[in-house]
A and B are shown apart, each in its own frame.
Chain A
Amino acid sequence: MRDMTVKTILQHSFRIAWKDLTELFRNRLGLVLLIVMPLFMMVMVGFIYPSNGTINDLKIGVVNEDTGFNDVFAPSQSFLMGLNQINDQTHMLIMSNVSSVADIKDMVQRGQLQGGIVIPSNFSESLMTGQQGTLIIVSDDSNPQISITIQSALRGVFDAMGTALAQQNLNTTNIAVIKPFNVQTQGVVSGNPSYFDFIAPGIMAMTVMMSVMTGLPVAISQEKEIGTMDGMMVAPINRLSILLGKTLAQTARGLIQGVIILALAIGIFGVAIQGSILLVFALLLLGVFSFVGLGIVITSFTKDQETAQMLMMTLMFPMMFLSGVFFPIQQMPWYMQTISKALPLTYASDALRKVMVLGAGIPQIANELIILIVFGIVMIAIALPVFRRMMTR
């Protein structure tokens, strides 16, 4: 076992990775597809803007900053009561009280809220002095679909409530404002995020993670099929070197694709990165780590390339659509959402989206990080014994 030091294992795996990448770069058509595939995906999905569906149980934070008018809080209180009454019938919102706008934004970044309603300090004063009372809707711009749904739903409710209030005022007092509520919207981030901002992080996460999950089985089964795997297997090297080398090469390939997507997103689709670019890459690597085990398990169960490809497609499609890469998971029925929550890609793309679009830092994505790390460790713990058995069949 004297040859099996960590150093030699790594040396061998680097050589295998280098060999794989040399082969990759000599495959011209493959290289072109490496660039074209993400471009197609961005363009196609980016321009097919999904329609709004009705959404229930949106998690909304409510901030009441109303300072009242001569210690009378009637307008804001009756507004909230009215809102609760309507919601009891529609179950559209799950409301919780939040202390400040900054907290709403933080909780949106953490994924605890999907939006918020802010009643500004002069709300009662304005209404009682015959002016429009302003209401602010805070929405999660990183998720345009949810954002639009929240905005249109709340605007509808507020308008209805406003009309009712105006009629009531007309009957009781002589001060009546036709449209008592002035509804404003406010995003969590500055600027005007587009659907591309929403899908670019998702596609990046997906491409990089899938490259390991699908690339590894294909790369290994291909070598088994053409017979070259035997050449490595009869060399006095640790089996881990083969696995590690292949993983390194696939990770490099995935990261190259990730960079291409990022460049396309910034250069062509005008996506801006709010958070740290280092954190973006760290997240991509963590995503790869969480998928390696799954890739190895699939590798161990596929004997030939064709099966590997088929299995890959079977797994890839549900993952693509259930992980909220293209469509927000909040739009799905509850059982789909449950499946979605079991997929690591969901957390990777969520975290990446928060960093890229919302400018989140490590504290805001701590949950996702922990889930990805734990998932990765568990999968690798399952995968290594399976792989060992497969290699000595």
Chain B
Amino acid sequence: MDNGNIIEVKNLTKNFGKFAAVDDISFSVKKGEIFGLLGPNGAGKSTTLRMLSTLSRPTRGTATIGGYDTVKHDMEVRKLIGIVSEKMIIYNRLTAKENLSFFGSLFNIPKDTLNKRIDNLLELVQLTKWKNAQVGTFSTGMRQRMNVVRALLNMPQVLFLDEPTLGLDPQSSVEIRDFIKKLNQEQGTTVIITTHMMVDADLLCDRIAIVDHGKIIALDTSTNLKKIISGADTMIVKLEIANLTPDLVASIKALKCADAVTQENSTSLHLIVHGEAAFDNIIDAVREKSGKITSMANLQPSLEDVFLHITGHEVRDNADQKIPMEHNPKFGASPRRVR
């Protein structure tokens, strides 16, 4: 705790049978930080979160929260944390107030204090009007707001959020993001958030750990992560071709300078390329197949590109798809580990 770290994770591992869902990860989180775990489904983010929040027992390694070991002092850890998991922790047949009263009562909070806190929290997320309505009648956005304030009943020092914007419309997502940001700034709550949404990670997190196949493959601020790309003589190119054919896509993919090629729709391609001659090579390849280039733009790298660059596959990729252990040999720069 002396070094300002509220969470310390050392060699944390979780095996399910022979499969390592979380594979020997170590990191620490500073007090008051918003820390993101970014990666595709099945990368081990949720499992990591479950171990940190005492819901799952690590196979190996340790994690401490506020100096308390998550296994040996699980009760102490539970007092310090709140979780918002992917599945909403609320009972549809109970009213908003009943839900919060029930969960609050499990924390031994005195009744008066609890009632006051419930009123404040409901006010905070504009649900006071629906206090006595059954949660089952709420919209998804309202229920997620309920789900978030539920985790705040014990005024946690650390708030764990597992995919908090999953399945929400853009406006509700913005509301939740703003709420988390506000909470972090006003209460100083440390926030650990897992997401596969680049926007969430980019807009919210002070630092981001990119997780893939149970390992942290990069950990830094969003800005620094993006520098991996610009520093590696790599460019992001958006290419519009009016008469795009599979044959043409294949020949672009075959180019030596193309690290990753993603087809966005019937006419546009998203490319990560390297080398001085990259633009010429692409244009030559397109001309050769008599393709018509309607536009070609050099884009700012996004976190998605960073992920693609480091892992060689997309965040949306299916998790059970096997990725070769060594990274794409076509990379000009070998995948680097930040930190």
- Give A contacts to B, CB under 8 Å: 1, 3-4, 8, 12, 15, 19, 22-23, 26-27, 226-228, 230-237, 392-393
Cβ of B115 to closest chain A Cβ, rounded Å: 15
Residues of B within 8 A of A (CB): 53-57, 75-76, 78-79, 81-83, 85-91, 93-94, 98, 102-103, 105-108, 134, 150
Contact with B94, one of A12, A22, A227, A230 (Cβ below 8 angstroms): A22
A15 and B93: CB pair below 8 A? no
Q: Are B78 and A228 in contact (CB under 8 A)?
A: no
Please give, as numbers and ranges, the residues of chain A lying within 8 Å of B106 by CB-CB distance.
Answer: 12, 15, 232, 235-237
In the bound complex, what is the Cα–Cα distance between A370 and B78 (angstroms)? Answer: 42
Give every chain B residue within 8 A of A231 (Cβ-Cβ).
83, 89-90, 103, 150
B107–A236 contact, CB under 8 A?
yes
Name the one of A19, A22, A228 contacting B89, with C-beta atoms under 8 angstroms. Answer: A228
Most-contacted residue by chain A among B83, B105, B134 (CB, 10 A): B105
Are A233 and B102 in contact, CB atoms less than 8 angstroms apart? no
B157 to chain A, nearest CB (A): 14
Expressed in whole angstroms, the minimum distance between the Cβ of B53 and any Cβ of chain A is: 6
CA distance A12 to B106 in the complex (A): 6
Say whether A234 contacts B81, CB under 8 Å: yes
Kindly state the separation between the CA atoms of A228 and B85 in the bound complex, as whole angstroms.
9
Given contacts A234-B53, A236-B75, contact A227 B107 (CB under 8 A): no
Contact call A23/B86, Cβ cutoff below 8 A: no
CA distance A232 to B106 in the complex (A): 8
* A183 to B53 alpha-carbon distance, docked (Å): 77
A-B contact pairs, 18 of them (CB 8 A): A4-B75, A12-B105, A19-B102, A26-B93, A227-B85, A227-B89, A228-B87, A228-B90, A230-B87, A231-B103, A234-B55, A234-B83, A235-B103, A236-B79, A236-B107, A237-B106, A392-B56, A392-B57
Secondary structure type dominating chain B contacts: loop
Interface contacts beyond A1-B75, A392-B57: sample of 11 additional A-B pairs, CB < 8 Å, sorted by A: A19-B94, A226-B87, A227-B86, A228-B89, A231-B83, A231-B150, A234-B78, A235-B106, A236-B106, A392-B56, A393-B57
Decide yes or no: A230 and B85 within 8 Å by CB, A22-B93, A26-B93, A393-B56 being known contacts. Answer: yes
Q: Which residue of B lies closest to A392 (CB)?
A: B57
Min Cβ gap A84→B in Å is 67
How far does the Cβ of B175 sit from chain A's closest Cβ, in whole Å?
21
Q: Which of A15, A227, A393 contacts B102 (CB 8 A)?
A: A15
Q: Is the CB of A233 within 8 A of B55?
A: yes
Q: Is the CB of A235 within 8 A of B89?
A: no
Please, which residue of chain B has its CB at the minimum distance from the CB of A23?
Answer: B93
In the complex the two chains form, is A23's CB within 8 Å of B91's CB?
Answer: yes
Given contacts A12-B106, A19-B94, A19-B102, contact A234 B54 (CB under 8 A): yes
Nearest chain A residue, comparing its CB with the CB of B90: A228
Residues of A within 8 A of B90 (CB): 228, 231
When chains A and B are docked, how far (Å) is the Cα of A26 from the Cα of B78?
Answer: 31
Q: How far is the CA of A303 from the CA of B89 in the complex (A)?
A: 18
B163 to chain A, nearest CB (A): 12
B53, B103, B134: most-surrounded residue (chain A CB, <10 A): B103
| A26 x B55 contact (CB < 8 A) | no
Shortest distance from the beta carbon of A29 to any chain B beta carbon, whole Å: 12
Q: How far is the CB of B49 from chain A (nearest CB, A)?
A: 11
Distance in angstroms from B90 CB to nearest chain A CB is 7
Q: Are A23 and B94 in contact (CB under 8 A)?
A: yes
A230 contact set on B, CB distance < 8 A: 55, 83, 85, 87, 89
Cα(A15)–Cα(B89), bound, Å: 16
Which chain B residues lie closer than 8 Å to A26 at the CB level? 93-94, 134
A227 touches B87 (CB 8 A): yes
Question: Once the chains bind, are A19 and B78 in contact (CB under 8 Å)?
Answer: no
Cα–Cα distance between A237 and B98 once the two chains are bound (Å): 19
Residues of A within 8 A of B81 (CB): 234
- Top 5 nearest A-B pairs (CB, nearest first) are A227-B87, A231-B89, A235-B106, A236-B78, A26-B93
Give A23 to B136 CA distance when docked, in angstroms: 11
In the complex with contacts A227-B89, A235-B103, A8-B108 CB distance below 8 A? yes
Look across to chain A and name the residue whose beta carbon is closest to the beta carbon of B53: A234
Per the bound structure, the CA–CA distance linking A234 and B150 in Å amounts to: 12
Chain B's nearest CB lies how many Å from the CB of A260?
22
What A residues does B102 contact at CB under 8 A?
15, 19
Q: Who on chain B is nearest to A22 by CB? A: B94
CB proximity of A24 to chain B, nearest CB, Å:
9
CA distance A8 to B87 in the complex (A): 28
> How long is the Cα–Cα vector from A19 to B91 in the complex, in angstroms?
9
A23 to B88, CA, bound (A): 17
Report whether B88 and A227 are in contact in the complex, using a CB–CB cutoff of 8 Å: yes
A229 → chain B closest CB, angstroms: 9
Given contacts A26-B134, A231-B103, contact A3 B85 (CB under 8 A): no
Provide the residues of chain A in CB contact with B85, threshold 8 Å.
227, 230
Cα distance A23–B53 in the bound complex, in angstroms: 27
Alpha-carbon distance A1/B89, docked complex (angstroms): 26
**A-side contacts of B87, CB under 8 Å:** 226-228, 230
Collect the chain A residues with CB atoms within 8 Å of residue B82's CB.
Answer: 234
Alpha-carbon gap, A27 to B134, bound state (A):
12
Residues of B within 8 A of A22 (CB): 93-94, 98
Chain B residue numbers with a CB within 8 Å of A236 are: 75-76, 78-79, 106-108
Q: How far is the CA of A234 from the CA of B105 in the complex (A)?
A: 13
Pairwise interchain contact A235-B91, C-beta atoms closer than 8 A: no
Q: Which residues of A contact B79 (CB under 8 A)?
A: 236
B328 to chain A, nearest CB (A): 37
Is A235's CB under 8 angstroms from B55's CB?
A: no
Most B C-beta atoms less than 10 A away, residue of A1, A3, A230: A230
Of A228, A234, A237, chain B has the most CB atoms within 10 Å of the CB of A234
Query: B156 — nearest CB in chain A belongs to which residue?
Result: A234
Complex: how many Å from CA A227 to CA B55? 12
Partner pick for A3 among B75, B89, B134, B150, CB 8 A cutoff: B75
B108 close to A3 (CB less than 8 A): yes
Contacts of B108 in A (CB 8 A): 3, 8, 236
A228 to B143, CA, bound (A): 13
Residue of A with least CB distance to B83: A234
A36 to chain B, nearest CB (A): 20
Name A15's contact: one of B75, B76, B83, B105 (CB within 8 Å): B105
The CB with the most chain A CB atoms within 10 A, among B56, B75, B83, B88, is that of: B75
Min CB distance A130 to B, Å, is 79
Nearest CB of B to A248, in Å = 15
Contact B93 A27 (CB under 8 A): yes
